[in-house]
Structure 1
Amino acid sequence: MKHLSLLFISSVLCLLLTPEIMFAQSAGGAVRGIITTSDNKPASSITIQIEQLKRGAVSDNNGRYIINKLAPGHYVLKISSIGIAMQEKEIIVSTGETTEENFTINITSQQLQDVIVNTQQAKYHAGTSNDVAKMPLKNLENPQVYTTVTSALLKDQQIVTYSDALKNIPGVIMQLENNTAGGSVTSRGFPTQSFLRNGVVGIGGDGNIDVSNIESIEAIKGPSGALYGSSLISYGGLFNIVTKKPFDTFKGEAGYTWGGYGLSRFTVDVNTPLNADKTLLFRLNGAIHHEGSWQDAGFASYEFVAPSLTYKIDDKNTLELEGEYQNERANSFYRIFIDGSYKTGVRSPKDVNIDWHRRFIGNGLVLKPKQAKLFTTLTHQFSKQWVSRTNFTYLSSAESGGNAYMSVLAGNDSLIRNATYYDYYKKYTTDIQENINGDFHIGSLRNRTLIGAEVYSVTTKASYGSLAFDKLSLANPGVEYVKLSNTTLQNALLDVPFIQTGSILTNTYSAYVQNVLNVTDRLLAMASVRWDYYDYKGQKSVITEEATGGYHQNAFSPKFGLVYQIVKDKVSLFGNYMNGFTNVAPVQQPDGSTSVFKPQHANQWEGGVKADAFNGKLSGSISYYDIKVSNVVRSDAPDRPTYQVQNGTQYSKGLEAQVTANPFAGFNIIAGYAYNNSKYEKISTALDGFRPSSAGPKNLANAWLSYRVQTGTLQGLGLGFGGNYASENAVINDLDDYYVLPSFTTLNASLSYDKKKYNITCKVDNLTNKQYWVGWGTTIPQMPRRFSASFTVKF
């Protein structure tokens, strides 16, 4: 599978890029320039043509164009595109010289984006990112690999859950849902969660992440400690949610989605300027979501609202205010742990004597998460070369209620229901981040510089109780099935002491710098470093208010990268060295001594090739990475098994490939493949040489193809088809135990009709009704085939 996928993607890239390489060099004169919108932003997909020669080009995602190999002479340069006024300029071309000619079109960037989406031009392709490197960089300029899931892709696939959106990212698969906001996935062999929003911390607490306010999702691969520290990343990468922003015209839409298993979802998106000169802009996104379960119990219901306000104070200052609030009630936490020991003979879910349509937890057991968030950004333009962005974030989350997980016992005929009830769990997050970006020249060398500082603070406190509630027969759970509820659980815990944690406070103080140097117009060098001071204040006693267990650590995290564009602005070779780290608390040893450990570190080497050709109609990357984790704390077995030492290691190596393409008008493709080889070394006799149970499947693939009719009586009719593949996944894997989730392929299809004033979409998930499971030490059955339909009104 991996060899066929790699061969296919490599062949496509080579075949399509060959003309670009052959004709990269040109003779004669040239004309180039930048096309911008009326609000001074890059204008992509604009046609530029020299009438006399019938020669032309199309502006890229940065508004740039170039026409090479022109004979000397006087010409008329014309720009045109659907929805804009045509413009002409007279130019003079001379041998060996490049003429500069810029244009400004008569519409805003948002209006242009609407035109581009409506004409279906490379809509799965993403342009420059401001957040991935905390500075504006094109993908070809960035030595780090990342994947962008665009809003157009989310709409085409009728995405209603965040976990489904992540299925479009190569090498990513859901492991645990609803344990944290957005759940846990695996990336490059490591568990990874979603914490970032617009480049800063933005996800806190538990519950679902609603997709109604998402403009795009950026999956940044590899350990990214140099820019993002340790608290918000994993060694496999991180996810950044880019939210929808206000713009200067009135526009909106309202939609309703209905589907099987109780899916009912209403969404709204309204944007409007609030004053005549359009310096005060407002946008509101919201959703009311309810979803049942394909099992005999289970549900999730919530209300979500996200207002955002942009105030253009003057030419140099802009203030952005955003908020989010979500109120949820759910019985969606689901875990089944299986005894995979050799004694039972249970090796896969099909060996378990269980009806997977049963949930074993009724809807009377409900968890109630709530989240409130505030984000502010003040942007100040010192000059054309320097800009400051000051970010303040406050997150508040709270939850109460009950949840439970099940453990199948060794006899394979019964299970234990282990339940927890929270009187409260509260989390408060404050983040202040200052980023100063510069774009300047030292001599002839272009420098793009970032200078940043951050203060990140988290406070948590909780009160909860847990117990093994009861034992059920797998074959006949009977009346006991529905006896577990919030009320019965609270009653059962009356004689059980609750665990009450006083405030737990963590502060992290950080400073970081980064510079991207254009050594030549094709060779770029990146260097970054971050310093973190981690200050864990300890846990306060609920009686004395005194904190215990505090400690602090310092850590440095570097990043280096090189990019060489073998075909300028089309194909680049890249390599990077990246670092991530995790703070490690001191350990009290059995002899009473305290061992103070260093931070755990992960170091990655990666190299590959990126392409962005034919004006974004073909883009992709292929890369190989090698990650080594060091300073892992482990048991000092066999000599001193009760002592802890810090010399364990873990390795993760692999290959990733991704491609997005727009071969012809209306037809779009996104596809990816990932292979990962992870193993423990020097951890324990039982684990050394084995793949971690958290690493996920070795092979993952994803694809989605869509076509929308461009002209004629069927204009607006769209078809979509795609799916995901995962190889087998050993979720229990050591010397004594082995339990594997089988490989699977799931397929999805959609049919839609999109017009100026409305959209109708129908979709079938899991088209073949495949039975499959995901998990991390657990077995979590997934949804069978489901039909859903949506109707959206645009205004």
Structure 2
Amino acid sequence: MIKIINRFYLEKIKIINLRKFIFMNKIIIPCVLLSGLCYGQQETSDSIKSANIDQVEIIGTKSVITDKSESVGRIPLKNLENSQVYTGITSRLITQQKIYNLDDVVRNAPGISKGAEGWAGNVIYGGTEYTSRGFQTQIKALNGLANNIAVVGDIQNVSKIEVIKGPSATLFGSIITSYGGLINRVTKMPYEQQSLSVDMSAGGFNFGRVGVDLNLPVNKEKTLLSRTNIAYNNQGTFTDNGGYTQNIFVAPSFSYQLNDRIKIDLNTEFNAQKVSGMGSNVMFTLTPAVLKQYVAALLAGNGVPASYISSVTSKMPSTIQEGFGTNSVSDFNLDRKMSYYDKNLVSRSTTLNLNGNVEYKISDRWKSLTSIKFTQGSDDGYETRMILLPNVVKGVVAGLLSGNLAGINYGTPGADYMARMSRRFEDAFESHQIQQNFNGDFKIGELRNRMVIGLDYYHQNIQSTWRNFQSNKYGSLFGYPYQNIFDTVNIKEPNTNYYNFERNRLDGLYQSSQVAATIFGGITNIYSTYINDVLNITDNLLVNAGLRFDRFNAKGIFDGTKNEYKNGYNQSAFSPRFGIVYQPVLNKISIFGNYQTGFSNVGGNDENGNVFKPEHSYQFETGVKYAFFNGNFTGTLSYYTIKVEDKVRTNPNNALFNIQDGTQKSSGFEAEVLGNVTKNLNVMFGYAYNDSVYQKADSSVNGLRPVSAGAKNQANIWVHYHFENTNFMRNFSIGAGANYVGETLVMNQYPDGALVSPAYTLVNAKISYDKPSYSFTVRINNLTNANIWTGYTTIYPQMPRQVVGSVALKF
């Protein structure tokens, strides 16, 4: 394994420029060495100052869901005091379930399911999207700050995942939130006890992982603490090309208590990733309506008269049912084990996060928190697209090539062929953020106020280079040259040419092509200020009010061919929030309501030259939270309505321009029940229903459910028991869980109709033998070997049944 790590790391270093390499040597290596030296010098500590430290637990039988958070409201609030709905998934649950990636973590939150997947190995367009309240969101918050870069999904440095529901721009802005909410990743921080934990695992499809967590006090006074998390992860593909993903992750962190008023924290994360032959997908973008437009343009470009074009397109399929022969993805009988390309299509990426915090206690009532964050990422690799083609495409192209348009064979409904496309990408991402918060806990008369006043500056710079080719040498669209289409293959019968879709041939096309590289990018600056106050009118009655102002500056889209920025714009936005909480039984039952808002900056202008304003969302929500039996039985029931206004849509009176009067509505119900039934029995259950619709939109989707809204019905359950007082099973733990995701829409538009992906149930289970200092675990992912495809417009095959064994040690 050491040889594999060394070889992978050396290959990755080659693509990092000298400046980044020097920077990493100055920052990362000394951090690791410092931790190692301290380990040899520091004596074991017998005491722990804080009861809330994030230690590594082998058994993990304590509460697995947090009931208090400072980052959700940027104010320390108990869940029952917070008018917003959220789920805080702790590292204890991660340990208990024995999971290693963030996709599995967020499934524990009600109403959260996997949506689309980004391009493998891409720092800007990669990462997983999740459905929340009818909208897509990603893990873009890190310790409450912006982390607008594709997140590598390993859990090694995760202390807690906070899934925050609904528009949340007042406290978090627009860059990392969606109208359905946001997901905040809280990292591990050092504590005073010396400890070392090692987790080693191996499993099906060449899965192998080693994780190390080393926590060390640096000095005898324990005012300077260090913690280093390291993980190496290799996951092979379940497809036929033998691909894999490798990650090396290093995360040193430090905490320094300068005096009784000042504390300094530093969190660092570095990740190097290599993706080989991963990211299989099937795209359904060529619907009958789109296909007719393409064919009309293709024929017109070849001088075919308009009347003849109309005759051809009128005979083509008009709906998905007519074109593909079905409205269900399951009827295509797609083989999830087929990759359709060679594993030498490799993508590489590196990311770096630096986050520093200085906390200063101004008085007993006020404190200051100054946060600085720097993020950098780069990548290079190949984007692959597999577009499923209706059979009619072959006949139309054959008629065009032969010149016999009158004798076109329109074929039979179905999709026997796939177009293979590729582009090569190189990206660079850089951002920095400075945030200043003042937190107060004070009284005005007899009324308690918990307040945050904040200032925030965020800067982001991205640059992307895409290399295209004119397919005129190795392949085409059924013999017709078409940009970026490598070739078409028959997916209904064996084909020995599947693996000729590979790097050397593609690079040859890029080099010989007459198509110039596309270079574009953008610079964004956001200036923000916000205030939020939670007022205790009585012990049982709380009201919350907050307001944010954002000034958004987009320099424009960078045009690399002309070396200039185009279409820059400035926008301003206000984002208020209000909430009320009444506890009829103090610390037991909480009745809450909230009004929360969000916004999204959009560029462009209407036919009169008026620049568009930000798009806005408004949520009204009410519900009940409860915590019985000393907090061992908790839950939330809520109903929400989210309305989006000022959406940009095509002007129905002038299709060459857009107007900004579109609306969308998303409403639903969510329930969460968490029970520590006994000391050793944990039960979690969640259910979510969502109804989403375009109320005023382009005619092709008006009145329809957005494909990005996910499933209407979702449910999740997890049950875990630790045997403590039985002779036969003593120290064993068993756990099982399931996620149900209802029917989802892959395509849904007029006049094509809908293409549906069927409902699925994902079942996972584990058994372990647990002692305080070690643990042996066997986990089975996708126990029933369900054939699962996720996503919209493009669908992605999910992992078949996988058995993983692991050993965890704590010293």
TM category (shorter chain) comes to 0.7 to 0.9
How big is each residue's C-alpha offset from its partner over 1:423-464, in whole Å with a ceiling of 9 and x where there is no partner? Answer: x20010111101110000111100001000100010011211
Percent same amino acid among aligned pairs?
37
TM-superposed deviation, 1:472: 1.1
Query: Which amino acid counterpart does residue 287 of structure 1 have in structure 2?
Result: A
Conserved? CA contact 2:788–2:798, under 8 Å: yes
- Between the aligned partners of 1:112 and 1:311, the Cα distance in structure 2 is 15
SS at match of 1:723: strand
- Between the aligned partners of 2:533 and 2:387, the Cα distance in structure 1 is 51
User: When the two structures are superposed, what TM-score results if normalisation uses the length of structure 2?
Assistant: 0.82
Partner of 1:761: 777
Query: Which amino acid counterpart does residue 282 of structure 2 have in structure 1?
Result: I
TM-superposed deviation, 1:670: 1.3
Partner of 1:419: 422
SS at match of 1:560: strand
SS at match of 2:103: helix
- Between the aligned partners of 1:195 and 1:442, the Cα distance in structure 2 is 37
Tell me how many residue pairs correspond in the alignment.
684
**Residue 361 (structure 1) aligned with residue 348 (structure 2):** no
Conserved? CA contact 2:117–2:796, under 8 Å: no
How big is each residue's C-alpha offset from its partner over 1:736-771, in whole Å with a ceiling of 9 and x where there is no partner? Answer: 231100011121111011112211111111111111
Partner of 1:739: 755
- Between the aligned partners of 2:502 and 2:70, the Cα distance in structure 1 is 47
Conserved? CA contact 2:723–2:733, under 8 Å: yes
- Between the aligned partners of 2:104 and 2:57, the Cα distance in structure 1 is 25
Partner of 1:787: 803
Conserved? CA contact 2:280–2:796, under 8 Å: yes
**Structure 1: where are the runs of 5+ without partners?**
1-104
Where do 4+ consecutive residues of structure 1 move more than 4 Å?
A: 110-119
How big is each residue's C-alpha offset from its partner over 1:343-381, in whole Å with a ceiling of 9 and x where there is no partner? Answer: 222312222253332111221111111101111000000
Partner of 1:471: 488
Call closer, same or farther: CA 1:540–1:678 in 2, change over 3 Å.
closer
> Which residues in structure 2 correspond to 1:342-741 (within 5 Å)?
342-344=321-323, 345-352=325-332, 354-411=334-391, 412-422=415-425, 424-466=426-468, 467-476=484-493, 478-494=495-511, 495-501=513-519, 503-542=521-560, 545-587=563-605, 589=607, 593-637=608-652, 639-713=653-727, 714-735=729-750, 736-741=752-757
Conserved? CA contact 1:207–1:328, under 8 Å: no
- Between the aligned partners of 1:115 and 1:254, the Cα distance in structure 2 is 10
SS at match of 2:808: strand
Partner of 1:312: 257
Please point out which of 211, 222, 232 is paired with 1:267. 211
How big is each residue's C-alpha offset from its partner over 1:315-342, in whole Å with a ceiling of 9 and x where there is no partner? Answer: 1001111111111111332321135623
Conserved? CA contact 2:59–2:775, under 8 Å: no
TM-superposed deviation, 1:712: 4.7
TM-superposed deviation, 1:161: 1.4
- Between the aligned partners of 1:401 and 1:748, the Cα distance in structure 2 is 33
- Between the aligned partners of 1:683 and 1:544, the Cα distance in structure 2 is 35
Conserved? CA contact 1:534–1:552, under 8 Å: yes
Conserved? CA contact 1:171–1:187, under 8 Å: yes
**Residue 109 (structure 1) aligned with residue 125 (structure 2):** no
Query: Which amino acid counterpart does residue 204 of structure 2 have in structure 1?
Result: G
- Between the aligned partners of 1:588 and 1:621, the Cα distance in structure 2 is 44
Call closer, same or farther: CA 1:370–1:116 in 2, change over 3 Å.
closer
Conserved? CA contact 1:303–1:326, under 8 Å: yes
Call closer, same or farther: CA 1:115–1:360 in 2, change over 3 Å.
closer
- Between the aligned partners of 2:246 and 2:47, the Cα distance in structure 1 is 44
> Which residues in structure 2 correspond to 1:270-349 (within 5 Å)?
270-297=214-241, 298-330=243-275, 331-338=277-284, 341-344=320-323, 345-349=325-329
Please point out which of 88, 101, 107 is paired with 1:161. 101
Call closer, same or farther: CA 1:496–1:526 in 2, change over 3 Å.
farther
Call closer, same or farther: CA 1:509–1:262 in 2, change over 3 Å.
same
SS at match of 1:482: helix
Partner of 1:148: 88
Partner of 1:172: 112
User: When the two structures are superposed, what TM-score results if normalisation uses the length of structure 1?
Assistant: 0.84
Partner of 1:128: 68
- Between the aligned partners of 2:499 and 2:57, the Cα distance in structure 1 is 53
TM-superposed deviation, 1:119: 8.1
TM-superposed deviation, 1:493: 1.6
TM-superposed deviation, 1:640: 2.0
- Between the aligned partners of 1:175 and 1:333, the Cα distance in structure 2 is 14
Query: Which amino acid counterpart does residue 552 of structure 2 have in structure 1?
Result: Y
SS at match of 2:780: strand
Query: Which amino acid counterpart does residue 240 of structure 2 have in structure 1?
Result: D
Conserved? CA contact 2:519–2:561, under 8 Å: no
Query: Which amino acid counterpart does residue 650 of structure 1 have in structure 2?
Result: Q
- Between the aligned partners of 1:318 and 1:700, the Cα distance in structure 2 is 43
> Which residues in structure 2 correspond to 1:182-221 (within 5 Å)?
182-204=127-149, 206=150, 208-221=152-165
Partner of 1:771: 787
| Higher normalized strand content (fraction of residues) | 1
TM-superposed deviation, 1:710: 2.1
TM-superposed deviation, 1:127: 2.7
Conserved? CA contact 2:199–2:212, under 8 Å: yes
Conserved? CA contact 1:465–1:496, under 8 Å: no
- Between the aligned partners of 2:168 and 2:371, the Cα distance in structure 1 is 20
Query: Which amino acid counterpart does residue 167 of structure 1 have in structure 2?
Result: R
Call closer, same or farther: CA 1:118–1:443 in 2, change over 3 Å.
farther
Query: Which amino acid counterpart does residue 656 of structure 1 have in structure 2?
Result: E
TM-superposed deviation, 1:227: 0.7
- Between the aligned partners of 2:517 and 2:326, the Cα distance in structure 1 is 35
- Between the aligned partners of 1:447 and 1:486, the Cα distance in structure 2 is 62
Conserved? CA contact 1:579–1:601, under 8 Å: yes
Conserved? CA contact 1:528–1:558, under 8 Å: yes
RMSD: 1.9
Conserved? CA contact 1:501–1:539, under 8 Å: no
**Structure 2: where are the runs of 5+ without partners?**
1-45, 120-124, 288-319, 392-414, 469-483
Partner of 1:55: none
How big is each residue's C-alpha offset from its partner over 1:600-649, in whole Å with a ceiling of 9 and x where there is no partner? Answer: 00100000000122222011100000000000111122x32222111111
- Between the aligned partners of 2:60 and 2:507, the Cα distance in structure 1 is 58
SS at match of 2:183: strand
- Between the aligned partners of 2:564 and 2:737, the Cα distance in structure 1 is 56
- Between the aligned partners of 1:575 and 1:405, the Cα distance in structure 2 is 45
Partner of 2:315: none
- Between the aligned partners of 2:268 and 2:600, the Cα distance in structure 1 is 30
Please point out which of 197, 201, 213 is paired with 1:257. 201
Partner of 1:24: none
Partner of 2:26: none
- Between the aligned partners of 1:488 and 1:207, the Cα distance in structure 2 is 31
How big is each residue's C-alpha offset from its partner over 1:151-194, in whole Å with a ceiling of 9 and x where there is no partner? Answer: 11111211111111111111111112244454111100001111
- Between the aligned partners of 2:606 and 2:669, the Cα distance in structure 1 is 40
Call closer, same or farther: CA 1:117–1:573 in 2, change over 3 Å.
farther
